[in-house]
Amino acid sequence: MILSTNQPNPTALQEDFVLKYLVNELQPAAGKKKALILMHGVGGNEQNMFNLSGYFPDDLLLVSARGPNTLGSGRYAWFEVDFSTGNPVIKEQQEAESRDLIRQFIRQVKQKYTLEDVYLGGFSQGAIMSCSVGLTAPETVKGIIAMSGRILQQIRPSVQPNPVLAGLNIFVAHGLHDSVLPIAYGREAKTYLESLNVRLTYHEYPIAHQITAEEMADVAAWMG
């Protein structure tokens, strides 16, 4: 569940990059200091995360991307996942392809808006992809925001501890009552990230698989 600030959508879907997206500034603007690219969960779309724009300051370029895999009308994913066994089983090729597309998308955002500081974040599957991209290519982002997600086992052999990774800022948040991706995933992510010596901020909230105003206030404060 995505919390909405009920802000009107001021722009139309953009299709000039490798991923379709919404953005709160169509033209390059000198007043923008940094960018945040947000990614939705499985079955969601770019509007879900764009609805959070009211929580961030005006000097932030907010970009909300659409996953490349279509599940139905208005429903998209970064990769398909099967929960029938009780544990999520992903389509690994789709995840790898999405990871590559996101890296290209980050480069395009940086080039078009001439920004160096780009944060990557998301909810649920969007959080998973944020971690996958940020941990395997830490030089591409300033920080990661992972809300109600997990860190895939499949990407860990590609994570190489180094000074760039150690300097990565990561915000992880998870609901204590999450029945989709239980809190154990958040705590395991915390343990794993601590082993990498990244700059980690970790929060647990008394919520289910959702985003709350308290959580968003913490995210905004963390970004500064």
| pLDDT for position 83 | 86
pLDDT at 8: 45
Judged by DSSP in three states, 201 sits in strand
Q: What is the pLDDT of residue 116?
A: 81
Segments in the chain below pLDDT 70: 1-10, 26-32
- Which helix (H) or strand (E) element contains residue 71? strand 69-72
Q: Which residues touch 163 (CB under 8 Å, ≥6 apart)? A: none
113: which residues sit within 8 A by CB, 6+ positions away? 25, 28, 29, 32, 35, 61
- What's the pLDDT score for residue 27? 55
Q: Which pLDDT does position 94 carry in this prediction?
A: 98
Domains along the chain? 21-223 (3.40.50.1820)
pLDDT at 31: 62
Token couple for 13: 């879907």
Residue 142, helix vs strand vs coil:
coil
The pTM (predicted TM-score) of the whole model is 0.93
The predicted structure's pLDDT at residue 57? 87
- pLDDT of 224 reads 86
Residue 130: per-residue pLDDT: 98
